[in-house]
Structure 1
Amino acid sequence: MKKKLQNFGVMGSIVLLGLGFIVTFFYIYLQAMGLTWQFDDYINLKDLSNASSVQGLNNFIFGGVAGPTGRPISLLTFLANYNDWMNNHPWGFVKTTLIWHLLNACLIFLLVFNIAKIYINNTNQSYIFALMVAMVWVILPIHASANLIPIQRMTHVSAFFMLSTLLGYVYFRTYLSSKQSPILNLILVIGWVVIGTILAVYSKENGAVVVTMLALLELYFLKRITYPAYPKLWTLGIYLALLIVPLFMLLYLVKNWAGINHHFEFYRDRSLADHLATQIIILWEYLKQIILPRAALLGPFHDGHIVYHWTMWQPYVALIAWLVAIFVGWKYKAYRLGKFLLFALVWYFAAHQIESSIIPLELYFEHRNYLASLGWVVLIAVLFAEIYKKYQGLSPWHILGGIYILYLLFNLQQITSLWGKPLLAAEMWSTYQPDSPRAAQMLAAQYKQEGFREASIEVLNDFAQLHPKNISLEMQVFSETCEKNSSQQNINQLNSLKKNVAKISLPADITVNIASLGENIRQKKCAGVTLKNYLNFLMVAAQVPKIKQNANVMHHVNYETALTYQEMDNTEAYLTYATRAFYNYPSLSIAEKIALTYFKQANNEKTLAWIKEALQYAPSNANGDAWRKSLKSLAETIKSIESQRSKVDNTPHEK
């Protein structure tokens, strides 16, 4: 009875502590209420406004562009914020994301508790240890950007299914008995893992690493529990799970070697070797921000991160440091801290094996540490648990633990309060990330919104002058100032663009502002710049190797060329370049415009032939249904018109 009362008291204390912590958590994040949309929000969420119809709903959920899977499960969760999107209310998205974040913390608590109780005979101590891990993890400042960027909910949704998969597996391993039907046990576990992995991957592709994480939990913590079915087969499955993602990555590298290197060179302006050299250093930078964060250096903009090369000393030092850390963990794995150091390292690398390795992604994103940080949090909790065992009662070491929690909360509060003041945040991010074009663009946008138009232009112009390889901001300056400039100033600006486009480092930069610039020139808002001048610039851009080799960018250049020829009443040239733009990157809107142009020429044969051709490029997802429905409807309309004309032509006329 006494033990039950004691357990009840501990559980009551944990519940009260948890509730108090949740209140503190929301109080800190409420300070970010004034935040704005971020760079990837619009492109991923723009179709949410059409989700009120069945077709629009299908297009939104199954027409995602964030990754190869389209991430439909994550997109499905955004339907809860339909009204927030229609009312331009990003904080509504963030509130929902914070709930997902807390749900994930609960899963971490249950996961750690179910593993801890295998090793800790005292259930109350297992609860306390699991609670400490969950509390420290949920307030890590490095998670702030994932929580505060609306579209990054995809990270949370994928993590939810990953953690659910791991928790279910640990539960099955703990409670399934080998005395039950072995085949049923095997089917149950495999089914759970496969379904959980699929849900995680279709929320975000990085969810595939859950199988590696599962194998690590098995090898580190569950080996002492008897396998519930076919021990040799189960062991083989665990090692297969451990190796399947690395082997797939290796196979992908070998099979797509040329394409990967081409993508790095023409899309990312660095080689695969440089990417790997930089990632080795960035992994240390992430780790520093996980354990000892600095609020000023945490934020959404790291696109100006320095690229390291193997001719520099830093990658070698970083690599040696990682090898030393692994050696220390391995050498002292018989000791608790050594074992958990090694676990934190391999868990960290497992979580980063897709996003921070050979895939041609951007260099640095804080949200990649959402689950990668968990191993380090467990190590921190183990460290303080060891201190607690050694020093009974209150000691300076326990005070240090409290100070560490306060340090994390203070940095988190600094970050959230900054995000709640967009202009100040933009100034801070631009100051600490001076080579980030996104930071410069956000600062310029904030100045413009506050009515400081000249300051906005100055920010863009200064960045463009210091970074001539990034012409996006120079194009934006030209687009926003050409209406007030003299003819000579505009001609000089266009000539500067023509010169700098040959130096372009990231060809996708040209796509950001080319449409608005072209529109201004076609509407004759830029004095002194003729359509022929603009065409000349587009022709020069089209011959730049990095642009020429990039189909997505050529899509924009060719379509701008088509629109300019259309403005010059050159229909044949318009059709030529619009068709090229379509083949660069098939688009329903362009397909329809080409078809309608042929139709206006009264060339129904070519119209129907083009529709038949365009239908071959319809995507395989739900957007393909929209393609087929729209283009087939257009074809049927044309056939109906032809039929009506035929009837009229064959009708006898009265004399």
Structure 2
Amino acid sequence: MPLPDSRWDFARWLLVAATLAAFVLYAPGLQGPFLFDDPANLAVLRAWYNGQADWRTVVLGQGGLIEARPLSMLSFLATVAAGGPGPLSYKAGNLLLHAACAALGFRLLSRTLAQDPRLAPQARALAAIAVALWLLHPIQVSTVLYAVQRMAQLSALFALGAVLAYFLARTRLTSRARDRTAIALLFAAFPLLVVAGVLSKQNAIVAPLLCLAFELAYFPGKRPLAIRLFFGLFLALPFVVALLAFAAAPQTLLRGYSDWGFSPDQRLLTQTRVLMDYAGSLLWPRGEHMSLFRDDFVISVGLFAPATTALAIAGLLALSALVVELRRRAPSLFAGWFFFLLAHSVESSVLPLEMYYEHRNYLPAFGLALALVGTLALWPRRGAAGLRLAPLAWFATAACLVLALQTYGRVQTWRSKPAIVANALIHHPESLRARQTQAFIDLAEGRTDAALAQMHRLQRSAQPRTRLLARIDAVSIACLAGRPADPSELTRALTDAQAKVTLDEVLVVDLLAQASAGDRCPGVASPQVSALVLGLLRAAPTQDPAAHPRRQLHLIAALVLARSQDWAGAQAQAEGAWTTQAPLEVADVLVQAYLANGRRQDAERVLRQIQARTRPYDRAGQALIAQLRGRIQTH
């Protein structure tokens, strides 16, 4: 059904007003801090800016092409070139992308709603309302003002573009079974846009599933051959290949669970509650409760542990069944609800990922916004005109105002890290990361007792891993503050050592290793730190030796033993950390240990291995190779 030819109609005025409002609302937060993994992901860009790294190192990384997310990194490179490596340039770029996603989302939703018989007369207005709500929603703050989430934004942008290409082709094929433009959109534009999305962040791979939701919602009946080929090529075939790959090598996927303290079945159970929580936050937002620090989300260990797991599963099934039942009367409700669920199908699946992040709703929120306006098809029709524009305009204005006020409050909070953490501690007091972050904020501002108090609170936790981490962090805080540290606290910490070491242990032990370096921490030196690391490893004898956190702990132990000149111990630990793809710092300490222990041939072997993998433009890698070659030659 064609869209009305409107220039400055209500839809355009609303979108322009919402976009301008978004720029005004977000402006105070653009100079806010880097957060979480921002420094780790963006450090190479600062090195490039300072002339210490080649642009290809930034864009292509050290691993595979998909893992490098080259289009996102290329975008960051342009950001730094234009505005420098500070937070402002990254976050201003994110805000521009936010507006671009809104514009593309409007183009898609206006066309989908035009296929809904009951809503088609107001398709543009309803699409504008849905997108304005998405644009101004407070949940988007943790994407727009979280620098590295440019990756999620670009992935969403290309996924929206891919789905729009499908939808344009599909509507053309309703009138002509053979249409060259439609074929080009389906089999050229669509895959190119999906590839671009995957090269920004892998979850753009959901695009074919989103197309399926629209196909089932808006195009009942017999499907053209081109559409059957489209879904066979881009949905059925990849699904079968993925299943066969998993059956052939399940450990490729499951090995990632070594990073986390939960199992695949626990993750799937928990994600049902997470999805319901996401939906609740989108439909009934409470900005003050939203937070980066959601590591307090309770893991589901069974259907009734907690009991809300069974309720969440029942709720998702009941809602989905109801939406299916209403598909003919309210196709946009069907399309939006399943768009929301399917857009979450990567990050809420069995993949070994963190349980909860608000930014994962960036693309799915379009679906819930579509579902919301799609419910209007269920309203009793009054007269031939159907929905009237005036009530819609008043509703949109009121809803946007409420969301804008909440977004304003969140943006003010996101202007500083202390404010972000303080808000998290009010609404998520059980967050381990929030308390750890607050402790180190206190330490940086000279409030050592307050920092230690945060750790003492965590030491009373019912969770053994939390107690373990808190005791280690308490020792690190004492060291960093120049206070005498009690080494018996490390021995006491080992009583809570777990059968699987995770990235949490790696982070706190790495901090302790740095805090105790040299002579600045009386009572805690290399022997005590290495004993702690070895104790953690011994407590997890059944863990896969190739597990990433385990290799990281071996590396920390090797570095600590090397600085105390225990080269035999350092060699053993470095060998535990070594693979041909290990970080270059592993090769560094391993070569030093081999040379100290009279094993020059082994040192030369490691050098050859890193020479084979290090790219010519990797300045840091080539510098280390030259340094190691010199050590071997002079040994």
TM-score normalised according to structure 2 size: 0.86
What is the CA–CA distance in structure 1 between the aligned matches of 2:569 and 2:559, rounded to whole Å? 10
Greater CA radius of gyration, 1 or 2?
1
Secondary structure in 1 aligned to 2:578?
A: helix
Q: Contact 1:615–1:627 (CA<8 Å) still a contact in 2?
A: no
Give, as a single letter, the amino acid of the residue that structure 1 aligns with 2:428: Q
Cα 1:292/1:606, change in 2 over 3 Å:
closer
1:565 corresponds, among 556, 561, 565, to 561
Which position in structure 1 is the counterpart of 2:327?
Answer: 333
What is the CA–CA distance in structure 2 between the aligned matches of 1:46 and 1:388, rounded to whole Å? 57
Does 126-135 or 173-182 show the bigger shift?
173-182
Does 386-395 or 163-172 show the bigger shift?
386-395
Give, as a single letter, the amino acid of the residue that structure 2 aligns with 1:329: V
What is the CA–CA distance in structure 1 between the aligned matches of 2:291 and 2:353, rounded to whole Å? 18
Q: State whether structure 2 residue 281 is matched by structure 1 residue 286.
A: no
- The within-5 A match list for 1:568-647 is 568-583=564-579, 586-595=582-591, 605-615=601-611, 618=613, 629=622, 633=626
Which position in structure 2 is the counterpart of 1:459?
Answer: 454
Which position in structure 1 is the counterpart of 2:348?
Answer: 356
What is the CA–CA distance in structure 1 between the aligned matches of 2:412 and 2:65, rounded to whole Å? 31
Give, as a single letter, the amino acid of the residue that structure 1 aligns with 2:203: N
Give a deviation string over 1:180-230, Cα, whole Å, max 9, x none: 976785355312121111111111111101011123323333568x98xxx
What is the CA–CA distance in structure 2 between the aligned matches of 1:388 and 1:131, rounded to whole Å? 22
1:218 corresponds, among 215, 219, 225, to 215
Q: State whether structure 2 residue 260 is matched by structure 1 residue 268.
A: yes
Q: State whether structure 2 residue 156 is matched by structure 1 residue 159.
A: yes
Shift of 1:353: 1.3
Secondary structure in 1 aligned to 2:154?
A: helix
Q: State whether structure 2 residue 535 is matched by structure 1 residue 535.
A: no
Shift of 1:404: 2.8
What is the CA–CA distance in structure 1 between the aligned matches of 2:580 and 2:605, rounded to whole Å? 19
Cα 1:636/1:41, change in 2 over 3 Å:
closer
What is the CA–CA distance in structure 1 between the aligned matches of 2:379 and 2:621, rounded to whole Å? 66
1:498 corresponds, among 494, 501, 508, to 494
Give a deviation string over 1:72-120, Cα, whole Å, max 9, x none: 1111111133269965x32331111011011011001111223344557
What is the CA–CA distance in structure 1 between the aligned matches of 2:266 and 2:588, rounded to whole Å? 42
Shift of 1:355: 0.9
Cα 1:520/1:379, change in 2 over 3 Å:
closer
Shift of 1:436: 1.8
Cα 1:262/1:566, change in 2 over 3 Å:
closer
Q: Contact 1:48–1:82 (CA<8 Å) still a contact in 2?
A: yes
What is the CA–CA distance in structure 1 between the aligned matches of 2:150 and 2:481, rounded to whole Å? 42
Does 457-466 or 596-605 show the bigger shift?
596-605
Q: State whether structure 2 residue 334 is matched by structure 1 residue 342.
A: yes
- The within-5 A match list for 1:230-309 is 231-238=224-231, 241-244=234-237, 247=240, 250-251=243-244, 253-257=246-250, 260=253, 263-264=256-257, 266-309=258-301
Shift of 1:291: 0.8
- The within-5 A match list for 1:329-478 is 329-336=323-330, 339-384=331-376, 390=382, 399-466=394-461, 467-470=463-466, 471-478=468-475
What is the CA–CA distance in structure 2 between the aligned matches of 1:44 and 1:611, rounded to whole Å? 27
Extract unaligned runs of 5+ from structure 2. none
Which position in structure 2 is the counterpart of 1:481?
Answer: 478
Q: Contact 2:71–2:200 (CA<8 Å) still a contact in 1?
A: yes
Q: State whether structure 2 residue 23 is matched by structure 1 residue 26.
A: yes
Q: Contact 1:59–1:623 (CA<8 Å) still a contact in 2?
A: no
What is the CA–CA distance in structure 2 between the aligned matches of 1:587 and 1:162, rounded to whole Å? 33
What is the CA–CA distance in structure 2 between the aligned matches of 1:425 and 1:580, rounded to whole Å? 39
Give a deviation string over 1:400-422, Cα, whole Å, max 9, x none: 55433332222222222221243
Shift of 1:607: 3.7
Shift of 1:294: 1.1
Give, as a single letter, the amino acid of the residue that structure 2 aligns with 1:354: V
Give a deviation string over 1:515-535, Cα, whole Å, max 9, x none: 332244341333233543333
What is the CA–CA distance in structure 1 between the aligned matches of 2:402 and 2:464, rounded to whole Å? 41
Which position in structure 2 is the counterpart of 1:75?
Answer: 73
What is the CA–CA distance in structure 1 between the aligned matches of 2:470 and 2:438, rounded to whole Å? 12
Give a deviation string over 1:266-292, Cα, whole Å, max 9, x none: 432222222111111111111111111
What is the CA–CA distance in structure 2 between the aligned matches of 1:440 and 1:66, rounded to whole Å? 35
Give, as a single letter, the amino acid of the residue that structure 1 aligns with 2:522: A
Give, as a single letter, the amino acid of the residue that structure 1 aligns with 2:301: H
**Count of aligned pairs between the two proteins:** 623
Extract unaligned runs of 5+ from structure 1. 1-5, 646-655
What is the CA–CA distance in structure 2 between the aligned matches of 1:114 and 1:62, rounded to whole Å? 37
Shift of 1:252: 5.2
Shift of 1:246: 5.1
Secondary structure in 2 aligned to 1:435?
A: coil
Q: Contact 2:567–2:596 (CA<8 Å) still a contact in 1?
A: no
Cα 1:525/1:296, change in 2 over 3 Å:
same
Greater fraction of residues in helix:
1
Q: State whether structure 2 residue 203 is matched by structure 1 residue 200.
A: no
Q: Contact 1:213–1:350 (CA<8 Å) still a contact in 2?
A: yes
Which position in structure 1 is the counterpart of 2:90?
Answer: 93
What is the CA–CA distance in structure 1 between the aligned matches of 2:599 and 2:417, rounded to whole Å? 54
Percentage identity across paired residues of the two chains? 20
Does 596-605 or 18-27 show the bigger shift?
596-605
Shift of 1:458: 1.9
What is the CA–CA distance in structure 2 between the aligned matches of 1:593 and 1:99, rounded to whole Å? 44
Secondary structure in 2 aligned to 1:490?
A: coil
Give a deviation string over 1:407-461, Cα, whole Å, max 9, x none: 2222222222221243232111022222222211222233344443332332233
Shift of 1:127: 2.7
Does 117-126 or 310-319 show the bigger shift?
117-126
Q: Contact 1:209–1:245 (CA<8 Å) still a contact in 2?
A: no
- The within-5 A match list for 1:81-230 is 81-82=79-80, 89-118=86-115, 125-175=122-172, 186=183, 189-222=186-219
User: RMSD of the alignment, in Å?
Assistant: 3.7
Which position in structure 2 is the counterpart of 1:653?
Answer: none
Cα 1:83/1:511, change in 2 over 3 Å:
farther
Q: Contact 1:161–1:197 (CA<8 Å) still a contact in 2?
A: yes
What is the CA–CA distance in structure 2 between the aligned matches of 1:232 and 1:126, rounded to whole Å? 29
Give, as a single letter, the amino acid of the residue that structure 1 aligns with 2:77: L
Shift of 1:159: 0.9
What is the CA–CA distance in structure 1 between the aligned matches of 2:464 and 2:374, rounded to whole Å? 50
Which position in structure 2 is the counterpart of 1:3?
Answer: none
Shift of 1:630: 5.0
Secondary structure in 1 aligned to 2:425?
A: helix
Does 14-23 or 89-98 show the bigger shift?
14-23
